[in-house]
């Protein structure tokens, strides 16, 4: 059997030494398994992290209450702004669409107006020509 680092090798034929080494290895293995299971216990680690964050927040509040209140108000304001922006998104989209449609209609109207003016000028020239011939 192998010995732990820092200990002298024991006589592998001595049953008591073998049992002691097995017990030491078993205890060391148990400690390693416990440490690994603690590292892999995500819910417990999350709770510990939340508790640390809470303790930090409480300690910060005790040291400087106005700063914490101001930060809380800023966070609440930001959340309110985000909620408001999300709720008014359909109205903003509709307004943008109305503006686009108005610009498109304005272009169509300008084109029709230009065409009407062109037709009116042509009709005026034709009328003037007809008047000159009639004299």
Structure confidence at residue 6 (pLDDT):
52
The residue among 36, 9, 30 whose CA lies nearest residue 21 is 9
For residues 61 and 94, give the distance between their C-alpha atoms in angstroms, rounded to a whole number: 45
pLDDT cut 70: percent of the chain above it: 91
- Confidence at 36, pLDDT banded by 50, 70, 90: confident
pLDDT tens readout for residues 40-93: 888 888 998 999 999 998 888 888 888 888 988 999 999 999 999 999 999 999
Structure confidence at residue 9 (pLDDT):
55
- Assess whether pLDDT exceeds 50 at residue 1: no
26-45 mean pLDDT: 88
Structure confidence at residue 41 (pLDDT):
85
Structure confidence at residue 50 (pLDDT):
93
Predicted TM-score (pTM) of this structure:
0.38
- Assess whether pLDDT exceeds 80 at residue 8: no
- Assess whether pLDDT exceeds 90 at residue 117: yes
State whether the Cα torsion 43-45-48-52 is positive or negative.
negative
């Amino acid at each position: 059997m192998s010995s732990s680092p820092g200990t002298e090798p024991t006589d592998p034929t001595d049953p008591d030494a073998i049992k002691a080494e097995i017990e030491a290895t078993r205890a060391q293995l148990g400690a390693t398994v416990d440490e690994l299971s603690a590292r892999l216990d995500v819910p417990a680690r999350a709770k510990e992290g939340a508790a640390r964050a809470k303790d930090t927040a409480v300690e910060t509040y005790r040291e400087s209450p106005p700063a914490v209140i101001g930060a809380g108000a800023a966070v609440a304001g930001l959340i309110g702004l985000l909620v408001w922006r999300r709720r008014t998104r359909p109205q903003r989209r509709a307004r943008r669409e109305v503006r686009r449609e108005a610009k498109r209609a304005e272009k169509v109207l300008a084109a029709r107006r230009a065409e009407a003016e062109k037709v009116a000028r042509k009709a005026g020239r034709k009328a003037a020509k007809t008047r000159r011939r009639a004299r």
